[in-house]
C-alpha cells in the first residue's frame, strides 16, 4: 500500500521536475501540506514525510489541532477565508497568514501583532479570476495595499497568494501567468519595508503548471493526504 511518505516523495519529484523546467532549483519551492479535515496524526505523518509547512483553512480546526500538537516540527500557515473576529486566534500562532485581502485586516493584524510584541508575516490574496464569491483583493488594488503594508511596523508582507478559478486544467495557465506578472511588477516597485519573495499558487490538480509559471510555494492537500472524507468549509 502506498504510504504518505511515498505520496510526498512523488509530489517532490513533480515539484523538482517543474522547477528545473523553469530554471530553478527544487529547493526553492516550498511545499505546504493543506491539511483541512485531516487529524493531528495525519498532519504529523506529513511533517515526518518532509513537507516544508502545514496550511489550515479554519480557525477553530487550527486551534484544536494546535492544542493536540499537530504542527510540531513545521511552520504553520493559515490559508482559509479570514474573518476579522477570528484574528486573535491566528496572529502570533500562524507563522504565515496567506489570505489577507483588505486594508481593515492588515490594520487589525498590525494592532494585534503590536500587542503581542511580534511582527506577523502575511501574504496578500489576489482574486485573480475576479470571481464575486471568492476572497482576495482585486489586482488593481495591490499597489495601494502593498504600500500600506509597508507602513505597518508589525506586519511583514512577504508576497502574494491566489486560488484561480476552477476550470479546465488548461484554462488556469493564463491566471498563473497573470499572477506571476503581478508578482514581478510588485517586486519591481520595491515598496519600503516589504519583501516580495513568495508567490503561493497551485494545488493537487495543477501545482506543476503553477510552478512552471513561477510559483515558489504550492499548497497541496489531496495528493498528500488522499481524498477528504467530508466537505471542507473553507
Ligand atoms: C484545500 C486547499 C488547497 C489544497 O487543495 P487540494 O486540491 O486538496 O490539493 C490549497 N489551497 C487552499 C486555499 C485550500 O483551501
Q: Look at residues 90, 77, 95, 88 and name the one whose alpha carbon lies nearest to residue 34.
A: 77
Round to whole Å and give the CA distance between 135 and 89: 20
| Per-residue model confidence as pLDDT tens digits over 15-71 | 999 999 999 999 999 999 999 999 999 999 999 999 999 999 999 999 999 999 999
pTM over 0.75: yes
CA-nearest residue for atom 2, ligand 1, is 34
Is residue 163 within 6 Å of ligand 1 at its C-beta? yes
Ligand 1 mean position, distance from CA 46 (Å): 15
Best of 32, 43, 55 to mutate for ligand 1, by most ligand atoms within 8 A of CB?
Answer: 55
| Per-residue model confidence as pLDDT tens digits over 135-180 | 999 999 999 999 999 999 999 999 999 998 876 655 667 899 999 9
Domain ranges of the chain: 4-225
| Per-residue model confidence as pLDDT tens digits over 71-83 | 999 999 999 999 9
Best of 46, 219, 224 to mutate for ligand 1, by most ligand atoms within 8 A of CB?
Answer: 219
Give the C-alpha distances (Å, rounded to integers) separating 189 from 28, 117, 182, 198. Answer: 22, 29, 11, 15
CB neighbours of residue 42 within 10 Å: 17
Q: Classify strands 96-100 and 198-200 as parallel, antiparallel or unpaired.
A: unpaired
| Per-residue model confidence as pLDDT tens digits over 172-224 | 678 999 999 999 999 999 999 999 999 999 999 999 999 999 999 999 999 99
Is residue 57 within 6 Å of ligand 1 at its C-beta? yes
| Per-residue model confidence as pLDDT tens digits over 90-122 | 999 999 999 999 999 999 999 999 999 999 999
Q: Which CATH number fits domain 4-225: 3.30.70.270, 3.40.50.720, 3.20.20.190, 3.20.20.10?
A: 3.20.20.10
Amino acid at each position: 500500500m502506498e504510504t504518505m511518505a511515498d505520496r510526498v516523495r512523488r509530489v517532490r519529484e513533480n515539484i523538482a521536475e517543474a522547477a528545473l523546467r523553469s530554471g530553478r532549483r527544487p529547493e526553492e519551492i516550498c511545499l505546504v501540506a493543506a491539511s483541512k479535515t485531516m487529524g493531528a496524526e495525519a498532519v504529523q505523518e506529513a511533517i515526518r514525510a518532509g513537507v516544508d509547512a502545514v496550511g489550515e483553512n479554519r480557525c477553530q480546526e487550527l486551534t484544536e489541532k494546535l492544542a493536540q500538537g499537530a504542527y510540531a516540527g513545521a511552520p504553520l500557515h493559515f490559508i482559509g477565508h479570514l474573518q476579522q473576529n477570528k484574528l486573535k486566534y491566528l496572529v502570533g500562532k500562524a507563522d504565515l497568514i496567506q489570505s489577507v485581502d483588505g486594508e481593515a485586516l492588515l490594520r487589525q493584524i498590525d494592532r494585534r501583532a503590536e500587542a503581542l510584541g511580534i511582527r506577523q508575516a502575511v501574504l496578500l490574496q489576489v482574486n485573480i479570476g475576479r470571481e464575486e464569491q471568492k476572497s482576495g483583493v482585486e489586482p488593481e488594488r495591490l499597489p495601494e495595499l502593498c504600500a500600506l503594508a509597508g507602513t505597518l511596523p508589525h506586519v511583514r508582507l512577504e508576497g502574494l497568494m491566489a486560488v484561480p478559478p476552477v476550470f479546465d486544467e488548461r484554462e488556469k495557465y493564463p491566471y498563473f501567468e497573470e499572477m506571476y506578472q503581478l508578482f514581478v511588477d510588485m517586486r519591481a516597485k520595491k515598496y519600503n519595508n516589504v519583501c516580495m519573495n513568495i508567490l503561493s499558487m497551485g494545488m493537487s490538480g495543477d501545482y506543476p503548471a503553477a510552478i512552471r509559471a513561477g510559483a515558489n510555494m504550492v499548497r497541496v492537500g489531496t495528493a498528500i493526504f488522499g481524498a477528504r472524507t467530508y466537505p471542507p468549509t473553507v
